[in-house]
Each structure stands twice: as C-alpha cells, then as structure tokens.
Structure 1
C-alpha cells in the first residue's frame, strides 16, 4: 500500500505531462526551424567553400612552396619555409609597388567620391533632361576596363593623342606631354583614367542615398538660415554616413586590386612607375613563372582587402544600430 501511494505521488500529474509535451513540441519546432535555416544557407556555404575557401587556402600553402611550371608535370612542390616571403618582402620593387598601390587607391577614391558627390548633389535638383544626362554619365562605368584602357591610351598618346593636340591647339602647352611614357606623369594619368571610370558608380549610389533624406529636414535647415556648406556638413553628410561607408569601402576593395586597366595603359611602366601589387603579382606569376612568390603578393592583397572588409562590416553594423 505504501509503495503504491509513493509511486502515485512521484508520477507527474496531467498538467505536468501537458507542460512536458508542450516543451517537447517547442523544442522540436525549434530544431526544425534551425534545420530549415541551414538548409537554405547550405548552397551558399558550399559555394563559398568550393570557390573561395579552397583557392584561398591553396594560395596560402603555395606561398610556402617552390611552385614552378615543372610542378604541373612532376607534382613536386617542396616547402621552402619563409624563403618566398623573405625574397618578396625584401625586394625594393615590392616596396615601390605597395607605395604605388596606396597612391593609386587613395587618389582614385578621393577623386571618384568628390566628383561623384558633386554630380549626385547636382542631379538631386530636377531639371529638364536630367535623366538623359545621368544615363550618359553611366557609360564609362559600363565600358570594360580593357576597352577603356585601350581608348585612353590612344587619347593620351604623346605623339598622336587627342588630348595633347587639344592642349597645343588651345596654346596651353608648348610641347606634347608624355602622359604615359614619363615616370613623372604615368601614375597620375592612370589615376585620372580610373577616376573617370569610377565616378558613375559613386554618383549613382550617392544619388540614391540623397533621395532617402526626408525633404522636411532639408527644408527645416533652410528655414533656420543654414547655408549650402552648413546644410551639407551638418545635415546631408551625417545622414549619408552609411551610404558613404559602402561607397568608400567597396570602392577601395575594387580599386586596390585593379590589373587590366594598368596593363592596358602602361603595363606597369615606364620604369615600374605604375607597378602596383596587382601588376607585381601578374609579373611574378605569369611572366617570371614563380608562382610561390606571386602567391605571396596575392596574400598581401588579400590581407589588405580583409582589413577593409572588417572595417566595412563594423561600420555597417554601427549604421544599422543607429
């Protein structure tokens, strides 16, 4: 009799059993929801692992190997430790390539953003044919890099270029300027061409951001007597902060690795005046056929891009939180 009473006392009542079943159902539903979420994400994860993770890991491993054309036939790529890294980082050409990359990237971003912002502000005021003009300004962005480089190489040619003929015709210069054949002008010329290509992207993104700013805020600033510069730096620019972050970071990540434009314009010359990390990687890997050292420069580019990717993600998270 005592055993029966004790068992009855320890057994859960109807309310407890219902609560346990409800918790089981919620746990099962939670597991199914998580599984369905991973099922949707799985294709993207698989794609990243196959097409990004493997090449990235392979490039890192290659930078520690003696990887030459013979490796493709023999399959032998002996590890050399840090020899490739010492050879590349100790080369004066790497240091100059890194410096040229910084100058090229900074000059391009400043020019693209400044002109793009000016055009975005200009087109934010509606006027006849504004849509047609915006469409025409998109053309440089739609032209392939190689085509744009070939076109501008003809325009900037010292002997037969249209630009020198125009400057001399207007009597602005006494002689033809060696835009692409002089170390003093080559890097500047490449930067200007890249600015021409990147301005439409900046203009379109910034123009879209300007349209999202409520007109009431700008009108209130005008009523308060704020001038153009006070409205721009006090109202417009702070509200455009998330858009500006996206434009600058994406612009950096696309500019720092540019190769085809420089190859079409100067091929890294003259006298390595336009040699960047991108062209240096190309030269080591496909001209000198030293894939190990080429992988080192490629890894440096990846590290630089990763740093700015982290900056972008953090800035974007802060923008969303605000």
Structure 2
C-alpha cells in the first residue's frame, strides 16, 4: 500500500497580472533619471560660473600683475587688496553713484514701463505697430545706443541743445561734461533703453488678469484709480518682483553704456562699481583690486537674488 506524498507546488500567477515592481528600485531609477536631466546644467554652472567665481575670490587675495601671465606666480598678500580698495575715496563715490544710478534707472524704467503697459492693454488702431517701435531701444546694442546719445547730448553740436535753442530755451547745457549733469544724463539714457523690457513683461502680466475682476470692481462703484490699486497692482505683484529684481541685477553692473557716454567722467562723476572694476583691472592693470570690486558687485547681486527667491517662496504659500 503506497502512501501519497505531499508535493510542493509553486504559486501560480494570476493570468494577466504582472509582478509588482520593487518600490526601492523605482525610486532609485527615478532619482537617476532626474539627475540625468539636471547634470548638464550643473556641469555648465560649475564650469562657466562656479570656477570664475572662485577664481575671482582667490585673485582678490593675491598680488596679481601682468607679470603673472608669464611667470604664473601670484603671491598671496592677505587682505591688502581689500584694505586698499575699501579705504580709497573713489570706491565710496563709485558705490554711491552705483546706488543712485541703479535706483534712478529702476524707478524711471518701471514707472514709464507700467504706464505704457496699461496704455497698450487697451485695443486701438496701430497698437501692435507702436509696441513694436517702442521695442527698438531695447534691441539696439548698448554701445551703439551710448554712441548715438553721446552725439545727441553733445554740448556744442548735439541735436538736443540745437532743438532747445530753436525753442528759445537754454541751448548750451553741458549734459555730459558737467559733474552735476553727467550722472543724471546717463540715468535718463539708461531709462530710455530699459523701458521696453519693463513694458513687455508688465504687459504680459496685465494680459493674465481676468477681466471679471474689473467688472466686479466696476459694479461695486470703484473708480479707475481704485481698480488699479485694488486689482491691478496686487495681481501684478509676482511680475513686478521679477521685473525689479532682474532689472536691478542687469543695471547694477552696467559698464558699456557708461564707457560710451562719459568713460566714468567728468571728474569721476559717473564712476560706478562696474567702471571701477574695468579701470582697476584693464587700465591700471591691478587685477587684485579689480577682483575686489567685482566681488563687491557679486555680493550685492547675491543679496538681491536671495530676496528674489524669498519673495517667490512667500508668493507660493
């Protein structure tokens, strides 16, 4: 008599049902995929931004001269470069001019750009044509704009003084040759260049505001000014943050426009941190001092970058 033996049978898969993948393996694969997309940008940033930034910081603590390019020797001199630059009276003037130039440019560009954006948000004949023409100052290279405006603002043969003289007004204003007028003139030219950028970004933000909000405000009896304060400005807040921060970071380091207009003069009246960096590094060939001023510009820009990130994080909550 034989006894039946128990045989182990393997579990059978239900037909049409796939095996459950390992969650840990899926997470690792997803993480590798994410890093695969991010890695090129990280490598690019490290090579073209990270390395120059670190090199500039190191250079600010070195005695770096034209001789270094041949010998490769740049001995460290501690904080001598920093002390020499920060104690120089010209650095204080350049810092103040930078702040005035940046604040004046941003204020003028933003106010005029916002006014034009609101104006062009209404439909009327030739709207698109006029908006396209206003973009021209932004499309022209800044050096070209500087050279053209230098001819326009020339005290003796400039178009502006000639026009003012024909109107019976003062026709010999020293726009670029007077220490009292030069910085104001440079600010006005930079406002002319930057208005189109502000108008385009703010115009795009205005198009995203629902029209129902204005209809509700009108039904509540709100005036045009009240609707602007209570509807337009709050809805534009994220766009305004972007415009001001990007405008600051592009304005604070402007060099070519000032060089084309005044070359930092007269009597250092338009000397900014950007022009001071250029003169220290490429005119006086004191690369260590130039690196110090460049690092100050980087710190200022980094402070506003942090402000930008914090403002966006607050808006996202």
Length-normalised TM-score, structure 1: 0.92
> SS of the counterpart of 1:205?
helix
Q: Which residue of 1 aligns with 2:72?
A: 75
1:127 to 114, 121, 124: 124
> Counterpart of 2:137?
140
Match of 2:309 among 269, 291, 313: 313
Matched, 1:212 2:223: no
CA distance in 1, matches of 2:62, 2:295: 14
Out of 252, 268, 282, the residue aligned to residue 286 of structure 1 is: 282
Cα distance in 1 for residues equivalent to 2:219 and 2:118: 19
2:249 paired with 1:244: no
| Equivalent in the alignment of 1:37 | 34
Deviations 1:180-239 (A, max 9, x none): 000010000000000000000000000000000000001111121111221111111011
- Residue from 24, 28, 51 that aligns with 2:25: 28
Instruction: Please give the residue correspondences for 1:217-228 in structure 2 after superposition, counting only pairs within 5 Å.
Output: 217-228=213-224
Other-structure match for 1:9: none
Distance 2:141 2:285 in 1: 27
Q: CA deviation at 1:320?
A: 2.7
Match of 2:163, SS state, is: helix
Q: Which residue matches 1:262?
A: 258
- The count of aligned residue pairs is 300
Q: Deviations over 1:139-178 (max 9, x none)?
A: 00000000000000000000000000111111122x4100
Q: Please list, as runs of the form range in 1=range in 2, the aligned pairs for 1:74-223 lying within 5 A after superposition.
A: 74-173=71-170, 175-223=171-219
Map Cα deviations across residues 237-269 of structure 1 (whole Å, 9 max, x no partner).
011000000000000000000000000000000
Structure with greater helix percent: 1
Moved over 6 A (4+): none
Residue number among 24, 44, 47 corresponding to 1:50 in the alignment: 47
- Over aligned residue pairs, what C-alpha RMSD do you find? 1.1
Structure 2 unpaired stretches of 5+: 1-10, 12-18
Question: Per-residue displacement from partner, 1:22-50 (whole Å, max 9, x unpaired)?
Answer: 5x700001000000100111100000010
Q: Distance in 2 between matches of 1:232 and 1:305?
A: 31
CA distance in 2 between counterparts of 1:55 and 1:320 reads 33
Deviation at 1:86, TM superposition (A): 0.2
- Take 1:191 and 1:225, find their aligned partners in 2: how far apart are those partners? 40
Q: Which residue of 2 aligns with 1:272?
A: 268
After TM superposition, the structure 1 = structure 2 runs for residues 56-67 of structure 1, keeping only pairs within 5 Å, are 56-67=53-64
